[in-house]
Amino acid sequence: MSASKPTQAQIQNPTTHYGNAKASTRRFITQRVTGALNIAFAVFMVWFVVSLAGRAPVEMIELVRNPFVALGLAVMVVNVAIHMRNGMRDTIEDYFDKGEHGLAMLANNAFVLFFLVVALGAIAKIVFWG
Amino acid sequence: MAPSTRPLSPHLSIYRFTLTMTMSIVHRATGIALYGGTLLLVLWLVAAAFGGGFFDFVAWLFGTWFGQLVLFGYTWVLFHHMLGGVRHFIWDFTKGMDATGRELLVRLQLGASILLTLVVWSIFVWFK
C-alpha cells in the first residue's frame, strides 16, 4: 500500500494516480477467476446438498469419503475463502478509512481463517478418521 | 475537511434509487449474506464429522419451517449473486453498458435468479 497520502486536490482530479495499482488489478483478476470457478462449485453444491438432504449421517460420511467429493469440497472451501475475503476487502475499502480499515481487515481475516480451518478440519476428520 | 486516503462512499439517502443502482447494492448485500452464510456449511460439516446427537440437532434445525425458509432464501441469494457475477463478466467485455442494455441485464438477472431458485426447489424439495 502506498505510504504517501493523496491530497484533496489529487482526489478531486480524475487524471491523478494514487493507491496501489498493481495490487488492485491483481484483486480484480482474483475476484473474477475465483468467481468463475464458483459457478461450477454452485452446481456441485446443489448436487451435494440435494443428494444428502434428509439422509442419515452415515450416508453423508460415506459420500464425503469419496476422494473426488472430498477433494471437490476442499478446493471449493479454499476458493470460496479467497473470494469472500477479497469481496469483503472491497466493501471495507468503501466504508472505512485507514486505521479503522486495518481493524476491519483483521476481523475479516479472522472470520475467513475460522471458516477455512473448521471446514477443512471437518472434511479431514470425515475422510481420515470417519 | 482533512484529506482522506481515498474517497469514501457518500451517504445513500441523497440518491434517487435506480434499477441498476439497487441491483448493485443487492449484489453487495447478497455477497455479505453469503459470507455470513458460510457458517451454515461449517455447521453442517462439523455436525457430520462429529455425528451423534449434534447431527440430529442440526438436521432438525435445517428441517424446521424457519430453517427451510433460511435455506430457501440462501438458495436465491447464491443464484442471484452468481448471476450478478456473470453480469459483471459481460460488462468486463464492455457489452450491455448502454441504458437499455444494462437495464435489460439486471431484469434478466432478477428473473433468472427467481426462476432458478423455484426450479431447483420444485425439483429437489417440493415435488421430488
Residue B104, chain A, CB below 8 Å: the answer is no
Site of grid cell 421430488: B128
The parent domain of residue B71 ranges over 19-126
The neighbour count for residue B6, using CB atoms within 10 Å, is 15
Q: Tell me how far apart the alpha carbons of residues B59 and B118 are, in angstroms, rounded to a whole number.
A: 22
More confident site: B122 or A130: B122
Q: What is the pLDDT of residue A16?
A: 87
As a whole number of angstroms, the distance between CA A56 and CA B47 comes to: 12
Would you state the cell numbers that stand for residue A74, as one nine-digit string? 476442499
Least confident window among A37-51, A54-68, A105-119: A54-68
Among A78-82, A121-125, B124-128, the least confident range: B124-128
pLDDT at position A58, please? 82
Instruction: Kindly state whether B92 is in contact with chain A, defined as any CB-CB distance less than 8 angstroms.
Output: yes
Could you tell me the residue ranges of all domains in chain A?
23-129
Mean pLDDT of B40-62: 87
Nearest neighbour of B42 by CB, restricted to A97, A118, A125 = A118
Is any Cβ of chain B less than 8 angstroms from the Cβ of A17?
Answer: no
Radius of gyration of chain A (CA): 20
Q: What is the pLDDT of residue B56?
A: 85
In whole angstroms, give the CA distance from residue A85 to residue A93.
12
pLDDT class for A93, splitting at 50, 70, 90?
confident
Cα B63 to Cα B83: distance, rounded to the nearest angstrom: 27
Res B60: pLDDT:
87
The answer to whether the CB of A91 falls within 8 A of the CB of A119 is no
Quick check: is B112 in a domain?
A: yes
Reported confidence tier of residue A18, pLDDT bands at 50, 70, 90: confident
> Distance (Å, rounded) from C-alpha A40 to C-alpha A42?
5
Three-point CA angle A33, A35, A36, nearest 5°: 65
Q: Is residue B64 part of a domain?
A: yes
pTM: 0.86
Query: What confidence tier does B5 reach under pLDDT thresholds 50, 70, 90?
Result: low
Total domains, chain B: 1
Is residue B13, in this structure, part of any structural domain at all?
Answer: no
Query: Residue B4 and residue A64: Cβ atoms within 8 Å?
Result: no
C-alpha cell at B15: 440518491
Asked whether the beta carbons of residue A38 and residue B85 sit closer than 8 angstroms, the reply is: yes
> Confidence class of residue A1 from pLDDT cuts 50, 70 and 90?
very low
Q: Which fold has domain A23-129?
A: 3 helical TM bundles of succinate and fumarate reductases (1.20.1300)
Cα–Cα distance, A21 to B47 (Å, whole number):
43
CATH number at residue B40: 1.20.1300.10
